[in-house]
Amino acid sequence: MIIEPKIRNAVCLNAHPEGCKKNVDRQIHITEHDGKKSITAPIDAPKQVLVIGCSNGYGLASRITAAFAYGSDTIGVSYEKAPTERKTGTPGWYHNAAFDAAAKTAALSAHTIHGDAFSDAIKAEVIDTARAKDIQFDLVIYSIASPARIDPETGVMYKSVIKPIGTAFSGETLDPLSGKILPISIPPADEQEIADTVKVMGGEDWHRWISQLYEAGALAKNCLTVAYSYIGPAVTYPLYRDGTIGRAKEHLEQEAAAITTTMQGISGRAFVSINKGVVTRASAVIPAFPLYLSALTRVLKDRGTHEGCIEQINRLFSSRLYRADGKIPTDEKNRIRIDNYELAADVQQETERLMTAFIQGQPEGQIDISDYRHEFLASCGFDIAGVDYN
């Protein structure tokens, strides 16, 4: 069967199984060869890890890092679709299958649960699985990006939106497939849309997970839990940090302190890690990102500090979460910062210069968008070297 990418509105609707397997194999390879070298504190390594949102992007990279750099047993939760007679499965379906197979070959315990992480039923399934395996988690990664959430208490569905707050946004966005600059204009969110986005992408569900795991005795002493967030540069503020998603991320970041309090009986700690911008299924739908990430990638590659999900998470574990001195460095708001290469002043200056030149059609503004296009297609298993797509 020949599978070609089907793309609508910056979303790839299908996936290539063989390419997805190669995505996982590549990340395992990087972790085993480069990631492991930077480990300085193997004794404090995570042993039993739960990854909520394990199938793509940062969650997949976290599960691979925990398993293949530190030898952890992992339980992963994600919401992915299996293939049918007429349709391929979602990329995450194949990523999970490839991860499970690789973990088995490496004699690592791995258990993958498919279902809605926002539901109490899936939380109960994770707790039952942990009990059956007689394990307590010492690390819980929360890496969900979702357009909707059903509140398990009321049954009401909330939808998140990507909109500015206060004033409309007008600007340019890059269509990564055609390479054309297109004008965009997005009206400001109303109060209901802001509240609904916080309900989906804020910290409520993260806290619910940790409370239920804690009460069930499924968390080990000194357990860490980490959720992922993004700040980015001023150029993306109107649509991201100062917009609806940014409001949800502020809620997530504030919830960390309350979650630490929930876990005080086991001296657990909750952190938010501010990660760098990368091309994933979640970020591809944010209008300002394709142009910004294309320019940023070129600048970081020129400086030798470019990282994809796996390099970033390898570094998060070795240089922030599990250091030889046992300390977890944070900023003044108690957030872990692993976005330091991205936000370096000279990197941002050059990125902005490239973006402006590109929008104005200047020759020196020739951003190479093939990297972005590749990352976008590769996240669904396409455009990967060594796969015979014919």
Kind plus residue range of the DSSP H or E element containing 48: strand 48-52
Residues from 218 through 237 that contact ligand NAD (CB under 6 A): 228-230
Q: Please say whether the beta carbons of 156 and 150 come within 8 A.
A: yes
Region near ligand NAD per CB under 6 A, out of 62-70, 112-120, 127-135, 218-226: 112-120
Specify the stretch interacting with ligand NAD by CB under 6 A; choose among 37-45, 57-65, 174-182, 187-195.
Answer: 57-65
Closest CA to 66 of 268, 306, 318: 318
φ, ψ dihedrals at 340, nearest 5°: -65, -35
CB of 116 to ligand NAD, least distance (A): 4
Minimum CB separation of residue 241 from ligand NAD in Å reads 11
Contact segment (CB under 6 A) with ligand NAD among 11-19, 78-86, 101-109, 318-326 equals 78-86
Residue 72 interacts with ligand NAD (CB under 6 A)? no
Contacts of 275 (CB under 8 A, 6+ apart): 58, 228, 229, 230, 312, 316, 338, 339
Is 116 one of the binding residues for ligand NAD (CB under 6 A)?
A: yes
User: Which of 372, 356, 359 is CA-nearest to residue 306?
Assistant: 372
Radius of gyration of the chain (CA): 20
Residues in 277-316 at the binding interface with ligand NAD, rule: CB under 6 A: 277-278, 280-283
d(CA 169, CA 312): 30
How far is Cα 314 from Cα 309, in angstroms, rounded to an integer? Answer: 9
- Taking the complex as a whole, the smallest distance from the CB of residue 312 to ligand NAD amounts, in Å, to 9
**Does 59 sit near ligand NAD (CB under 6 A)?**
yes
Long-range Cβ contact pairs of 361-368 (< 8 A, separation 24 or more): 367/291, 367/294, 367/295, 367/298, 368/294, 368/298
Which span sits near ligand NAD by CB under 6 A: 99-107, 141-149, 165-173, 323-331? 141-149
Coil, helix or strand for 10?
coil
Q: Are 312 and 61 in contact (CB under 8 A)?
A: yes
Residue with tokens 């501010």: 274
Binding mask 92-111 for ligand NAD (x = CB under 6 A): x-------------------
Give least dist CB 143 to ligand NAD, A: 4
Q: How far is the CB of 279 from ligand NAD (least distance, A)?
A: 7
The distance of closest approach from Cβ of residue 118 to ligand NAD in the complex, given in angstroms and rounded to an integer, is 5
110 in Cβ contact with 101 (< 8 Å)? no
Considering only 17, 53, 164, 268, the residue that binds ligand NAD (CB under 6 A) is 53
Q: Catalytic positions, please?
A: 240
Scanning 18-26, 113-121, 256-264, 329-337 for contacts with ligand NAD by CB under 6 A, the matching segment is 113-121
Q: Which stretch binds ligand NAD (CB under 6 A): 48-56, 155-163, 170-178, 343-351?
A: 48-56
Torsion (CA) 162, 282, 195, 239 in degrees, nearest 10: -30
**Of 109 and 119, which CB lies nearer to ligand NAD in the complex structure?**
119
- Determine if 118 is a binding residue for ligand NAD (CB under 6 A): yes
Q: Which two tokens stand for residue 232?
A: 């980015």
Nearest CA among 205, 245, 195, 248 for reference residue 225: 205
Nearer to ligand NAD, 92 or 268 (CB): 92
The answer to whether residue 55 forms part of the interface with ligand NAD (CB under 6 A) is: yes
Q: Given the complex with ligand NAD, which of 44 and 211 has the nearer CB atom?
A: 211
Residues in Cβ contact with 267 at an 8 Å cutoff, skipping those fewer than 6 apart: 221, 222
| 46 binds ligand NAD, rule: CB under 6 A | no
Of residues 72 and 283, the one with the C-beta less far from ligand NAD? 283
Q: CA 313, CA 64: separation in Å to the nearest integer?
A: 9
Subset of residues 11 to 40 that bind ligand NAD, contact rule: CB under 6 A = none
Spatial distance between the Cα atoms of 338 and 340, rounded to a whole number of angstroms: 5
DSSP 8-state code for residue 167:
S
Instruction: Please report whether residue 330 would count as binding ligand NAD according to CB under 6 A.
Output: no
Give me the residues that bind ligand NAD (CB under 6 A), please: 53-59, 77-80, 92, 116-118, 143-146, 228-230, 275, 277-278, 280-283
